[in-house]
Amino acid sequence: MKKAVYSIMVIAVIFATGCNNTKTNNTAEKKSEFKISEDDINETIRQIKEIHTDKESFRIEKGVKQVAALWQETDGDLQAFNTFCVENFVADSASLLIAYNKLERNFELLFGYYNTMTVKLMEPLHLDMGEIHFVDEVMGAYSVSSHINEDLFSNKLAFYVVLNFPSYSLEEKIKNSEKWSRLDWAFARMGDLFISRVPSELLQNASVASTNADTYIADYNIYMGNLVNKDLKTYFPSDMVLITHWGLRDELKSNYNSQNGLEKQKVIFNVMMRIVSQEIPSEIINNDGYQWDPIANKLYKDGKETKFTPEPYTRYEHLLHNFKALSAMDPYNPIYPTYIQRAFDQSMELTQKEIETLFIDFITSPQIKEVAALIKSRLGRDLEPFDIWYNGFTPRTSVNEEELNQITRRKYPNPQAFDNDIPRMLQELGWSREKAIYIANKISVDPARGAGHAWGAQMKGDVAHLRTRVGKNGMDYKGYNIATHELGHNVEQTITLYDIDYYMLAGVPNTAFTEAVAFMFQGNDLKLLGRPNPTNKSETEALAALDNCWSAYEIMGVSLVDMYVWQWMYENPDANAKELQEAVEKIAKDVWNKYYYPVLGTKDCPLLAIYSHMITSPLYLANYPVGHLIEFQVEQYVQDKKFSDEITRMLLQGRIIPQQWMMGAVGSKISGQPTLNAVSQALKIIK
């Protein structure tokens, strides 16, 4: 599950943007009309060098040029620009460190309190606090930090940062990564804060689009006991309510060894298909007043068929709103002029091409077909499209889930019980009692309205939030499994904030890394329940390789669809929601036919478009498969070492670039080859 937390860099420039309007266009026109000439820039550079000699020549030139690129007419005339740069450049290293320390302290306060206010305002939307009111929606969508970028440029603090702590491109960071000190990295991350200048109205409008999409998905529940077949028979309990897509997917995965399992899976699969195509009856969404046969797409009221209204492309309206909001930011981003570039080069610090190549090489490897053949032989039937979620390679699949439900419901009747158990779980994973309590005291467990998520603190003294869904009878095993994943996020968030050497390096390189940590915690869920692993060591390792491979294979296709949909939206910016739905379905089918049909069969299947992340978390999905690959490489490295010590060591590298982090962690770059090599060996063991 995505961790719902803004990184330090993203808070500064703000996660979301908004739709264009007249005021915005006028701002853009003013910006384009006012430009500082190269001669004026060079004269300013000359004057600074004259004062400070050429000792800081590189930083002087870079800083002045970057200030000039962001300077607008409202900031002052050419003389004001020149005076500001000459008077505020800091050449002395001791004075520069003093400036850094003061800035770091103030940014932690700003980002920390803004984050806390956002968490509190969104509680009625994220937590199980009763019916959502108009006031909740408005205040939850309100971005308290939308003016920070604008304000800091207006008071010139942003220019002070840009001048003295210039930003570096991804290419420059890669080039310097091996020689930079920790302080050099902290300075570079300070420079990342102000590389764009987005009007606050865009930021606020985008916050609304993002929050509305999140609320739409959080309330998209299916009453499973109301799903019927052609004979009006249901296979699901009356009290089962599942959120799309997470709850539906996890229920499908849990039915590989259950009574009527295949029939249940086919019902869920058809629910997903109706959501993607927007043929799902509006009357069945978050409503238990009707019965629905998703295979025939027939709606019943009290056993009699009735007419229905298909969902009116609402899913794609939200996707479109997010696109328009985020692409409206483009004119104000000279370094990364599209959201696609901002998502990959700026945020992940891995290029889209690099990731796309990584994924395609992996999903077209010969090992994939071999794993599929193994799954087919284990199931004793031809593969279905939904077998991309086959979970028979995990130790927990040999344990009866109802038995696990009984254990988790007894242990965790409410969120507080899970909260109270965190110190014990951390000790099971190797942390000392004192450190386990230290970390646990900085995590708050809250009752989630949706499937759950993790939201980290942004300043020392605040807590990370673990949001988890707990039913009226207690936490079932699916909820527990997700909660252990979110706990991994919270532990990472806490260590990389409270124990890091420089606040500007708090966090990890990108969210794929925190997903990797979360996957490792999730993989220990049975151990944390006190259940012995039912397989021997070699078999356990083989199963882990197969599970990692198949999980990565599934989500890589979903991620490719996400990427290609965004490319399509940029090529068709005036498309409406219906046109977008048709495009998404076509793209999903194309990716399926190219990479999944040869393995799983069933041509023209749009299943890869079901992920809710596409609606709520634009271009986030690539973090998951990268996270799976990182997880496997890290797990291989730590398997004969103390888990807690190694994870802590790796995390305290902080937010440097991804490939350098991996080199420091395990001695090699991110790659799918370790997983594929392990799969080749695993296929000799697992039959």
Q: Is the pLDDT of residue 9 over 60?
A: no
Min mean pLDDT across 196-200, 264-268, 621-625 is at 196-200
Nearest to 468 by CA among 438, 489, 442, 497: 489
Distance CA 687, CA 681 (A): 12
Q: Check residue 534 and give its pLDDT.
A: 62
What is the average per-residue pLDDT within 501-506? Answer: 98
Q: Predicted confidence band at 21 (pLDDT cuts at 50, 70, 90)?
A: very low
Q: Are 628 and 617 in contact (CB under 8 A)?
A: no
Please state the pTM of the whole predicted model.
Answer: 0.82
Which stretch, 130-134, 168-172, 314-318, 514-518, has highest mean pLDDT? 314-318
Q: 351-365 burial, b if ≥16 CB within 10 A, otherwise e?
A: ebeebbebbeebbeb
How confident is the model at residue 33, as a pLDDT?
58
Answer yes or no: are the C-beta atoms of 118 and 144 closer than 8 Å: yes
Average pLDDT value for residue range 440-445: 98
Confidence of residue 17 (pLDDT cuts 50, 70, 90): very low
171 Cβ contact partners less than 8 Å away, ≥ 6 residues apart: none
State both tokens at 424: 């014990």
Query: Looking at residue 6, what is its pLDDT?
Result: 35
pLDDT level of residue 149 (50, 70, 90 thresholds)? confident
- Mutual angle of helices 200-218 and 134-141, in 10-degree steps: 130
Mean of the pLDDT values across residues 473-501?
96
Structure tokens at 278: 């927007």
Q: How far apart are CA 180 and CA 172, in angstroms?
A: 11
- Whether 25 has a pLDDT exceeding 50, the answer reads no
Identify the pLDDT of residue 305. 97
Helix, strand and coil content of the chain, in percent to the nearest 5, comes to 65, 5, 30
CA–CA distance, 599 with 383 (Å, rounded to integer): 9
Contacts of residues 594-602 at CB distance under 8 Å and 24 or more positions apart, as own/partner, are 595/360, 595/363, 595/364, 595/557, 595/560, 596/385, 596/388, 596/557, 598/369, 599/368, 599/369, 599/372, 599/383, 600/372, 600/383, 600/384, 600/385, 600/387, 600/388, 601/382, 601/383, 601/385, 602/384, 602/385
* Amino acid (1-letter code) at residue 662: M
On average, the pLDDT of the chain sits at 92
199 or 573, higher pLDDT: 573
Q: Is residue 64 pLDDT above 90, yes or no? A: yes
Does the pLDDT at position 2 exceed 80? no
Query: Hey, is 597 helix, strand or coil?
Result: helix
Position 436 confidence tier, pLDDT thresholds 50, 70, 90: very high
Do 550 and 371 form a contact (C-beta atoms < 8 A)? yes
Question: 27 CB contacts (<8 Å, ≥6 apart)?
Answer: 199
End-to-end, the C-alpha distance of the chain in Å comes to 31
